[in-house]
Each structure stands twice: as C-alpha cells, then as structure tokens.
Amino acid sequence: MGLFDAIDVAGSALTAERVRMDVAADNLANAESTRASGGGPYRRKLVLLRSAGEGTFAAVLGRSLASLRPAGVEVAGIVADPSPGRLVYDPGHPDADARGYVRMPNVNPVAELVDLITASRAYDANVTSMQTAKQMFTRTLELLR
C-alpha cells in the first residue's frame, strides 16, 4: 500500500458521493414535473457505483495483503428507475387524462432526503478519512526528521 493510496481511495469516494448528492437533488427538484424531455413525467434517477479495482470480489479476496492495492469507487452509471409513477386525481391539470388523472413522477421526497443525508454523511466520513491520513503522513515525516 502506497503512501497516498488512502487519499486516492477517499478522493474517489468523494467524487462518487458528490454525484449521488447531485442526483438526489435533481430528483427532488423534479418531484412534481409531469413533463420531461423524453415525454411523460420525470423518471427518478439512480446512481450505480462499482469498485474501481480490477477483478471480481473472489479474485481480490484471494490475493495476498502485500499485493493488494486499494482501488476506490467509481460511478458505473446513472439510470432511470423503472418503477411506475403514481396517479393523482386532478381534472384541472393540463396533463390530466380523460378521466382526470395525472401521471406523476416516481419520486418519493422522503426517500430522496434519506439518500441525500446518507450521501452527505458518507462524504463527511471520507473527508475525515483524508484528514486523518494527512495527519498520519505529517506525523510520520516529523518522526523521520
């Protein structure tokens, strides 16, 4: 494990958590959007994360600790949530169907706030991890003087 690997891993996680926060904020902002660019109501977006390392979990687990190189995390993609949106009875809405129902986005504001809070907490934890690694490096250099 190299000197700056801990900072590299935490840095990759900071980037991933920032994307999660951006997507959750985008979902919250569009929670009532009945007209999206693709037609129909807005579709909730999900962030897919994966390990930035090579190989499967079993392959990584099988390697010796001496040769194990931390990989970090990366955004594998942002996909639309396939769950259906809810129907709301609002006959005065411009997007209401013949029966008076409007197809709303599949965004649950409570779930989005929970996602936003967990991403924020993970971001904070990774900042703390980077600060701790920096302190360890500083103290190690002080010992070597």
User: pLDDT of 65-109, one tens digit each?
Assistant: 545 666 788 899 999 999 998 999 999 999 899 999 999 999 999
Evaluate whether residue 90 is within a structural domain: no
Evaluate whether residue 87 is within a structural domain: no
So what's the pLDDT on residue 107?
A: 95
Q: Mean per-residue pLDDT for 134-139?
A: 90
So what's the pLDDT on residue 54?
A: 61
Tens digit of pLDDT for each residue in 3-57? 678 888 899 999 999 999 999 999 999 999 988 877 789 999 999 998 876 656 6
pTM over 0.75: yes
Would you say 46 and 26 are in contact if contact means Cβ atoms under 8 Å apart?
A: no
Find the domain containing 116 and state its range: 3-31+45-80+107-144
Evaluate whether residue 118 is within a structural domain: yes
Evaluate whether residue 15 is within a structural domain: yes
So what's the pLDDT on residue 66?
A: 46
Question: Residue 49: which of 122, 103, 129 has the closest Cα?
Answer: 122
The Cα 62–Cα 67 span in angstroms is 10
Would you say 17 and 115 are in contact if contact means Cβ atoms under 8 Å apart?
A: no
User: Looking at the 3D structure of the chain, how many domains does it have?
Assistant: 1
Evaluate whether residue 22 is within a structural domain: yes
The Cα 31–Cα 42 span in angstroms is 8
The Cα 25–Cα 89 span in angstroms is 26
Evaluate whether residue 130 is within a structural domain: yes
Give me the residues paired with residue 48 across strands: 77
The Cα 9–Cα 114 span in angstroms is 24
Q: Mean per-residue pLDDT for 110-137?
A: 94
Residue 90, CB half-sphere, CA atoms under 13 Å: how many?
Answer: 12
Evaluate whether residue 56 is within a structural domain: yes
Evaluate whether residue 89 is within a structural domain: no
Would you say 126 and 13 are in contact if contact means Cβ atoms under 8 Å apart?
A: yes
